[in-house]
Amino acid sequence: MAESIKISMRVPGTSPMPDLLRMIGQIEDAGFDGAGILDSQMICRDTFVTMGMAANATSKLRLFPAVTNPFGRIPSVLAGAAQTVAEIAPGRTKFIIGTGYTSATTIGRRPATLRQMRRCIMEVKALLAGEAVEYDGMTNRLDFAGSDGGHGVPVLMAASGPRSLELAGEVADGALVLVGYTPGIVGKALEHLEIGAKRSGRTLEDLDVMFAVRTCVSDSTEEARRLARPVAAHWALLWGGPNWLPYSGLDIPDYEVPQAVRDVYPDLGHAPNWEEAIELTQFVDDEVNGQLCDALGLIGTPEYCTSRIKEMAQHGVNQLYLMPCLTFAPPEAEVQAFGNHVIPALAAA
């Protein structure tokens, strides 16, 4: 079981660099396969600087931006940054790009379009492969492409909707999939990835597929679900849930979302006052909240999370990217719970 399931942890760069690097070292020591470094320029330390420092401070951990975007840095800068980090940690890096959520909202702009995503991914892939790219009539290439000894840097796309999944399957080397965590939802998401893969003459087996799951671990399932309320309500009612809940097998009521919930900055799932956000979501009853938590990810006791990982592995989910519900807080509780309980239990299975 342990050999077939790879688990990575999301790391927000909200702590001072010494604390941040210490946390990344703890993630490696806990037995995680990888660490994704959040890229949100107004909130976090620089992603690629953090990755470079982390590459020197670790020996086995896979490192990747989670996720970067096409507008904070132009594609040629992104390719150069990715290749530079790969030199420090050959064979231990990935490049993951998305439309840029808080990166966009915190500077008053809209996330990237799928057309912009397609262009950026194809350009970054070409540059990393040592190919020439045209810029307004001028052709140039990345002089140091392949400088990591030929290991290569896989380019994945973060995707949460049907069209974005198809684009990821078509043009990227894989996908970071944020859709939910039930057999029906996972099966439907893989269908969309496969549609895209077929457009470029590939199959699902040709893609590196990681499933992003929201995570909250506590001594009791009730407390974990209470803490996860803002994330569950945000996903189900205001973001990607409507695309995927029909495939979950759950019957979720229609809720009238209070304006106060819509007004939380930057949004409910990233609320700076978490207890206040929990109170704002009391309009969703406990039973429904529990169903949403199960549909969304790994929310419960360490033992419960372990059983869910084993269950979903039977449905093709063998790479997990954990996204703790407290989005911008250091993932200390989750690292401890998985390192002390979940990862050893999976290794023993």
Average pLDDT, the chain: 95
- Mean pLDDT for 114-130 is 97
Residue 118, pLDDT > 50, answer yes
What is the DSSP pairing of strand 133-135 with strand 138-140? antiparallel
Degrees, nearest 5: CA angle 51-167-40: 30
pLDDT band at 306 (very low <50, low <70, confident <90, very high): very high
**Tokens linked to 140:** 């140039």
The alpha carbon of 241 is separated from its chain's Cα centroid by a whole number of angstroms, namely 16
Q: Residues for the chain: how many in total?
A: 349
Contact residues for 269 (Cβ-Cβ < 8 A; gap 6+): 230, 231, 234, 235, 239, 327
- Express each pLDDT in 76-104 by its tens digit: 999 999 999 999 999 999 999 999 978 88
Residue 148, pLDDT > 90, answer yes
- Express each pLDDT in 43-78 by its tens digit: 899 999 999 999 999 999 999 999 999 999 999 999
Residue 27, pLDDT > 80, answer yes
Residue 275, pLDDT > 90, answer yes
Residue 277, pLDDT > 60, answer yes
pLDDT at 3: 57
Torsions phi, psi of 217, nearest 5? -115, 135
The secondary element (H helix, E strand) that includes residue 189 is helix 183-199
- Express each pLDDT in 281-295 by its tens digit: 999 999 999 999 999
CB environment 246-278: b (16+ within 10 A), e (fewer): ebbebebeeeebeeebeebebbbbbbeebeebb
Domains observed in the chain:
2-348 (3.20.20.30)
Amino acid at 334: E
